[in-house]
Amino acid sequence: MTSHAPSYYAATAAAFGPHPSLTGDIQADVVVIGGGFTGLSAALSAAEAGLSVVLVEARRIGWGASGRNGGQMIPGMRWSACDLVERFGEDRARPIVALGLAATASVRNRIARHAIACDLRDGHFQAAWKPAHLEAMRRERDMLWQLVDYDDISIVEPGDVGNYVATEAYHGGAFDAHGGHLHPLNYAIGLAHAAEKLGVRIFEDTPALSIDHGTPVSVKAPGGVITARYGILACDSEVGQLEQAFRNIMMPVINYNVTTRQLSAAEAAALIPSNASIAESRFVLNYYRLTADNRLIFGGGEKYSPKPPHDIKAFVRPYVETIFPQIEGIQFEHAWGGTIGVTMNRLPQFGRIGNSFFAHGFSGHGVLLTTLAGELIAEAMRGTAERFDLLADLPSRSFPGGPLLRHPLYVLGMLWFALRDRL
How do residues 47-74 score in pLDDT, each as one tens digit? 999 999 999 999 999 999 999 999 999 9
pLDDT exceeds 80 at position 305: no
Residue 400 in domain: yes
The answer to whether 251 and 364 are in contact (CB under 8 A) is no
pLDDT, mean of residues 322-327: 98
Model pLDDT, residue 344: 79
pLDDT exceeds 80 at position 210: yes
* Cα radius of gyration rounded to whole Å, the chain: 21
Q: At a CB cut-off of 8 Å and minimum separation 6, what does 197 contact?
A: none
Write the DSSP assignment of 113-157 as a string of letters: HTT--S--EEEEEEE-SSHHHHHHHHHHHHHHHHHH----EEEE-
CA atoms of 377 and 372, how far apart (whole Å): 9
pLDDT exceeds 70 at position 44: yes
pLDDT, mean of residues 320-344: 92
Read off the DSSP letter of residue 360.
E
Residue 120 in domain: no
Instruction: Please state the φ and ψ torsions of residue 317, each to the nearest 5 degrees.
Output: -50, -45
pLDDT tens-digit series, residues 346-387: 899 999 999 999 999 988 889 999 999 999 999 999 999 999
Residue 57 in domain: yes
Residue 266 in domain: no
Q: Name the average pLDDT for the chain.
A: 92
Residue 284 in domain: no
pLDDT exceeds 90 at position 414: no
The answer to whether 421 and 282 are in contact (CB under 8 A) is yes
The answer to whether 86 and 97 are in contact (CB under 8 A) is no
pLDDT tens-digit series, residues 146-164: 999 999 999 999 999 999 9
pLDDT, mean of residues 383-403: 85
The model's pTM: 0.94
Q: At a CB cut-off of 8 Å and minimum separation 6, what does 353 contact?
A: 213, 243, 245
Residue 119 in domain: no
- Kindly provide the b/e burial profile for residues 389-412, where b requires at least 16 CB atoms within 10 angstroms of the residue's own CB: ebbbebebeebeeeeeebeeebee
Say which CATH number the domain at 372 has.
Answer: 3.50.50.60
Burial class (CB in 10 A: 0-12, 13-18, 19+), 385: middle
Q: At a CB cut-off of 8 Å and minimum separation 6, what does 50 contact?
A: none
Phi-psi region of 235 (alpha: psi -120 to 50; beta: other; left: phi over 0): alpha
User: What are 270-274's contacts with CB under 8 Å, separation 24+?
Assistant: 270/166, 271/165, 271/166, 271/296, 271/324, 271/327, 272/164, 272/165, 272/166, 272/296, 273/162, 273/163, 273/164, 273/165, 273/166, 274/123, 274/125, 274/163, 274/164, 274/165, 274/175
Model pLDDT, residue 364: 82
Residue 365 or residue 389, greater confidence: 389
Residue 111 in domain: no
Confidence of residue 416 (pLDDT cuts 50, 70, 90): very low
Helix (H, G, I), strand (E, B) or coil at 230: strand
Residue 377's domain comprises 8-68+186-248+345-404
Residue 417 in domain: no
CA atoms of 165 and 277, how far apart (whole Å): 10
CA atoms of 104 and 368, how far apart (whole Å): 6
* Total count of domains within the chain: 1
